[in-house]
Structure 1
Amino acid sequence: MLKAVLDDCGLEDVEMTMATRFHDDLDLESIDLVTLGGQLEARYGEQVNFAEYLAGLDLEEIIYLTIGQLVTHVAGCLRRAGEC
């Protein structure tokens, strides 16, 4: 699903791994992360609040955010939502 979202950002030909960084490797800007957050919420609902997750990070952590960190966040949110 994340690959499909990133393809919408014009990154369909970019190889992505869990270590791929949104800023350095994919050249995504903050507006792209906002779009990604909206698409995640549309797909998974409010339990995956990407904006809240980003708000808990400092600027350097956001700059170095990886696909793996996002996957871990989404999986954790969905796991917690399933426990309710």
Structure 2
Amino acid sequence: MTDVLSEVVRMLTDVVGEDFLLDVEVGPDTSFGDDLALESIEFVALVDRLRAHYGDRVDFPAFIAGLDLDQLINLTVGDVVDHITAAERAHA
């Protein structure tokens, strides 16, 4: 899980820029909305990077589509990491 977390944080840094994350310690409980104030275009860019890295075995469109509005608004880095980890375990 820590490898996946590190990879997600690295990709997030690539998307929003290192300067943006200087004041934020990103961890599993970090929310994309409240904590990071991620714009939708930035979230889409992050998902594109994750899809390019993890491929179709980690179905991000289905994951996002399966969330209700509250879950989407409160989505955390840990939620994404958990999804990736579970999908990789299922395809192992």
Structure 2-normalised TM-score? 0.81
Residue 47 in 1 paired to residue 57 in 2? yes
Identity %: 41
Which 5+ residue runs of structure 1 have no aligned equivalent? none
Amino acid at match of 1:32: E
Partners of 1:6 and 1:12 within 8 A in 2: no
| Structure with the bigger percentage of helix | 2
SS at match of 1:6: helix
| Number of aligned positions between the proteins | 82
Residue 16 in 1 paired to residue 22 in 2? no
Residue 33 in 1 paired to residue 33 in 2? no
Amino acid at match of 2:81: V
Partners of 1:23 and 1:65 within 8 A in 2: yes
Greater length-normalized contact order (CA 8 Å, ≥ 6 residues apart): 2
Report how far residue 59 of structure 1 moved.
Answer: 1.4
Structure 1-normalised TM-score? 0.88
Which 5+ residue runs of structure 2 have no aligned equivalent? 1-6
SS at match of 1:46: helix
Describe the superposition over 1:41-83 as per-residue Cα deviations: whole angstroms up to 9, x where unpaired.
111111112121111111111110011111100000111111x
Q: Which moved more, 1:42-51 or 1:69-78?
A: 42-51
Report how far residue 29 of structure 1 moved.
Answer: 2.1
Distance 1:12 1:50 in 2: 24
Distance 1:29 1:62 in 2: 13
Q: Which moved more, 1:5-14 or 1:18-27?
A: 5-14
